[in-house]
Chain A
Amino acid sequence: MIQLTHLQKLEAESIHIMREVVATCDKPVMLYSIGKDSSVLLHLALKAFYPAKLPFPLLHVDTTWKFREMIEFRDRRARELGVDLIVHINDEGVKAGINPFTSGSRLHTDVMKTEGLKQALDTYKFDAAFGGARRDEEKSRAKERIFSLRSAEHRWDPKNQRPEPWSLYNTRKRPGESFRVFPLSNWTEADVWDYVALENIPVVPLYFAAPRPVVERDGTLIMQDDARMVLLPGEKVEERMVRFRTLGCYPLTGALESQATTLEAVLDEMRSSRVSERQGRVIDNDGAASMEQKKQEGYF
């Protein structure tokens, strides 16, 4: 008998989930946020459907505030793999001048991410959307199903979730309803990195330490990725050796000082870290039940 390691078990489970979606839903899409979880998700999808091409497009909801290196990486990977990539920007939000600096993190996320995502799902009539979220990231995620049913208005009802025994997923839904599907639910941050190393999966170079121009603001190191970031009185840009543990909109993503320039060094650093990966995310700390509320409103 072949004894599978825990990573092989996780891989098989994720592939099973992806195939289940493709076999039972009409128009799936994969949310591609360019981070390490998305990289792993994409890699698993290539495996799940080989030798066929990806049977669904990738969707990136672009807030227009992502790191430039992320956008370059996104376009390069889509070209190399020959996958269909949809980029959606909430134009109304852009016209209204929503931005993370003056609108605040909360409004920016609501309009450019949550609203943008809903617009894209509605426009293309996707009935299932893969996301790379993991249950170990955040408390309300820990209780979310792998197949998470959303109403026609994209709302999540945490108190009325379908039981999900074994690997059996109830994929029936009414017209207009859709699923958010999380194939990486049972992975941890460590599993993701171990898998990236094991499978040689390309990730955005921002995860590795390099000298970058950063500004210290409210105790967080923010990288000045372009000229839209205006310095406040007393602030100055310094070149520091930094890397990122998670990637999002650059004004909302804290850098950490690090010398880890290789994957091995990053793994070592993470193994001895005492803070959680979302700690650098400004949006999570808007109140204890903040993520649960955002999710109910349609955030991933």
Chain B
Amino acid sequence: MNALQDPKIEGVAISAPGGKTLLRLLTCGSVDDGKSTLIGRMLYECGAVFDDKLGALDRDSKKFGTQGDSLDFALLVDGLAAEREQGITIDVAYRYFGSARRKFIVADTPGHEQYTRNMATGASTADLAILLVDARKGLLTQTRRHAFIASLLRVRHIVLAVNKMDLVGYDQTIFEDITQSFQTLAQGLGFASITPIPVSARDGDNIVARSTHMGWYAGPVLLEHLETVQVGPQAREGQGFALPVQWVNRPDLDFRGYAGTIAAGSIRVGDRVRILPNGQSSEVARLVTHDGDLQLAAQGQAVTLTLASEVDISRGDVIVSGATSARQGLELSAHVVWTSETPLRLDNRYVIKLATGQANADVVALHRVIDINSFEARAVSEVPLNGVALVTLRVDRPIVFDDYARNRVLGGFILIDRLSNETAAIGLVNSDALADLARASGWAEQVERRVIGHIGVAGSQARRRFLRSLVADLLVAVLLAGALGFWAGSLPVGLVLFLADLIIRSLVRALCRRWFRPSEGVSDGGGI
């Protein structure tokens, strides 16, 4: 408790205004690896825990704490009553603190498998992930899963915090073995950096201050690394401009402005722009803000722009300029992280919300489900809560999108269940994944996919339709063949007729389906 009176840390929590940068990070790892303890410890050591909250912590530690008589830092962050009772983190909690150099927003995400969706939510805005591993247990299934989700949502930087080093005698070999295994596991996950740090969150070793127990470790301590790591901008230089129109500002007949947050690139007054999806073009007349007009605006700014000519633009349209990779379409392939208790089924109806665009969406193909524990792909008929799958979606009006790898705003979306209104999935547009899948899979798998394409996935409406028509066909064929065979008095003739009828009718039906494919769901434009 004496640290409170230490003048060094006093008031570090509060920043001076101006030029500080912001780092958004998430903490993840298995249950009981000490995530909440680690965050509580960082908040405490950065002076972000006020005296009255510490008083409450002292009270709560005695009631719920799992650390004997010492302060249980996890209780600083486990906020909901249910969480405090069960001693686990259920929901994403956001924490705010700062050091002399940076502001931090931390998403503390749950370790339990049933809350994977919450981890994906936390990862969606993070620049960096702290992945906790218990030094006694090494890498677990959860470690793989979290590394995979972080990679899927393109969190580029990983800190591998090997925690509870005090419980393994600060053993260097254990730390190095875990580091080695993680490097192997992370191959192909595409992280820009992996920084392993041996820590003890409970005692504060290598969190803010260098541990006196691990002289063999020469790398940065955790806070030092978070303060200095270069996360780089999400956008690349030279990327085209894109502004998803959020709201049309029409206070009177003389003013028509398009308000939105710039998703990519930058724009100047006078620049030529195109409007997607209708393809009209115009020129930027003004960049209007409350504090006066701007000449230049860039990614991340919430602006209102006006155009030199009269064009028809509404919410959901995207104003683009330069070499943009944003495009429009009615079909897109994407990874989805399923977030609803009701599994994804091909015949359920969804609404897609991508940037400011919205449309009705059908999942027309479920290519594979990825086992997030083993990274293996499996062909199945539905995706359960927390499942990750590669799907093709068809929407009922042109939607403007980009690959998630290129742009988080134009490549990230949610699917909303049209009946319950719940958020059913977090989606990431990935145009290359289908081609990769085709290349990677053998001929047997491709044949299987073709066949499934025809007969539908087990349990789907397509499969039921197929079975119904198959039964009907068989019945008709048996009757026909029986009648004709009896009339001709010959069993072989009946058999031939039976087969001929079955084959010809199936063929005709397949051809009809191919030529006159009904535009399912397109007529239904309501519910938005």
Which of B16, B20, B259 has a CB less than 8 Å from the CB of A19? B259
Which of B52, B299, B408 has a CB less than 8 Å from the CB of A275? B52
Q: Which of B75-83, B138-146, B502-510 contacts A (4 or more CB under 8 A)?
A: B75-83
CB distance from B46 to the nearest CB of A (A): 12
Whether A197 lies near B17 (C-beta < 8 A) is yes
Whether B288 lies near A51 (C-beta < 8 A) is yes
| Interface check A232, CB cutoff 8 A | no
Whether B94 lies near A6 (C-beta < 8 A) is no
| Interface check B103, CB cutoff 8 A | yes
Bound complex: CA A8 to CA B297 (Å): 13
| Interface check B269, CB cutoff 8 A | no
Specify which chain A residues have a CB less than 8 angstroms from the CB of B93 in the assembled complex.
139, 142-143
| Interface check A261, CB cutoff 8 A | no
Q: Which of A66-74, A160-168, A203-211 contacts B (4 or more CB under 8 A)?
A: A160-168
| Interface check A136, CB cutoff 8 A | yes
Specify which chain A residues have a CB less than 8 angstroms from the CB of B233 in the assembled complex.
1, 3
Q: Which of B161-169, B419-427, B474-482, B517-525 contacts A (4 or more CB under 8 A)?
A: B419-427
Bound complex: CA A25 to CA B170 (Å): 56
CB distance from B187 to the nearest CB of A (A): 27
CB distance from A68 to the nearest CB of B (A): 28
Bound complex: CA A276 to CA B124 (Å): 30
Which of A165, A174, A194, A279 has a CB less than 8 Å from the CB of B421? A174
| Interface check B91, CB cutoff 8 A | yes
CB distance from A126 to the nearest CB of B (A): 19
Whether B79 lies near A292 (C-beta < 8 A) is yes
Q: Which of A27-35, A101-109, A265-273 contacts B (4 or more CB under 8 A)?
A: A265-273
| Interface check B409, CB cutoff 8 A | yes
Whether A186 lies near B105 (C-beta < 8 A) is yes
Whether A279 lies near B17 (C-beta < 8 A) is no
| Interface check A201, CB cutoff 8 A | no
| Interface check A46, CB cutoff 8 A | yes
Specify which chain A residues have a CB less than 8 angstroms from the CB of B15 in the assembled complex.
190-191, 194
| Interface check A262, CB cutoff 8 A | no
CB distance from A47 to the nearest CB of B (A): 4
Specify which chain A residues have a CB less than 8 angstroms from the CB of B296 in the assembled complex.
2
Specify which chain B residues have a CB less than 8 angstroms from the CB of A185 in the assembled complex.
94
Residue on A nearest B235 in the bound complex, by CB = A1
Residue on B nearest A53 in the bound complex, by CB = B251
Whether A52 lies near B250 (C-beta < 8 A) is yes
Question: Chain B, interface size: which category?
Answer: 35 or more
Specify which chain A residues have a CB less than 8 angstroms from the CB of B302 in the assembled complex.
11-12, 15-16, 19, 48
| Interface check B84, CB cutoff 8 A | yes
Specify which chain A residues have a CB less than 8 angstroms from the CB of B423 in the assembled complex.
162-163, 170
Q: How many A-B residue pairs have CB under 8 A?
A: 191
Specify which chain B residues have a CB less than 8 angstroms from the CB of A270 in the assembled complex.
14
| Interface check A20, CB cutoff 8 A | yes
Bound complex: CA A17 to CA B96 (Å): 20
CB distance from B13 to the nearest CB of A (A): 8
Which label, helix, strand, loop or mixed, suits the secondary structure of the B interface?
mixed
Within 8 A of B (CB), among A146-191: 158-159, 161-168, 170, 172-174, 185-186, 188-191
Whether B421 lies near A139 (C-beta < 8 A) is no
Whether B81 lies near A166 (C-beta < 8 A) is no
Whether A279 lies near B414 (C-beta < 8 A) is no
Which of B50, B92, B250, B414 has a CB less than 8 Å from the CB of A273? B50
| Interface check B21, CB cutoff 8 A | yes
If A12-B302, A140-B79, A170-B423 touch, does A165 touch B288 (CB 8 Å cutoff)?
no
Whether A190 lies near B14 (C-beta < 8 A) is yes
Q: Which of B50, B235, B237 has the most A CB atoms < 10 Å from its CB?
A: B50
| Interface check B301, CB cutoff 8 A | yes
Whether A16 lies near B20 (C-beta < 8 A) is no
Whether A5 lies near B20 (C-beta < 8 A) is yes
Whether B353 lies near A170 (C-beta < 8 A) is yes
Bound complex: CA A274 to CA B125 (Å): 30
CB distance from B95 to the nearest CB of A (A): 7
Show the binding face of B for A, using Cβ within 8 Å: 4, 10-11, 13-22, 50-53, 56, 59-60, 63, 77, 79-82, 84, 90-96, 98, 103, 105, 117-118, 120-121, 124-125, 233, 235, 237, 246-247, 249-251, 255, 257, 259-261, 266, 288-291, 296-302, 304, 315, 339, 351, 353-354, 356, 408-409, 412-414, 416, 421-423, 426
What are 13 residue pairs bridging A and B, where the CB atoms are less than 8 Å apart in the complex?
A1-B233, A2-B301, A4-B300, A22-B247, A47-B290, A50-B290, A51-B288, A139-B77, A143-B80, A165-B412, A166-B409, A174-B421, A292-B79
Considering the complex of A and B, which 9 residue pairs feature the smallest CB-CB distances, nearest first? A139-B79, A165-B124, A52-B251, A194-B17, A276-B50, A289-B81, A6-B22, A15-B302, A50-B290
* Beyond A143-B91, A172-B351, A288-B81, 8 extra complex contacts between A and B, CB < 8 Å: A4-B301, A11-B302, A22-B247, A168-B413, A186-B105, A190-B98, A197-B17, A279-B50
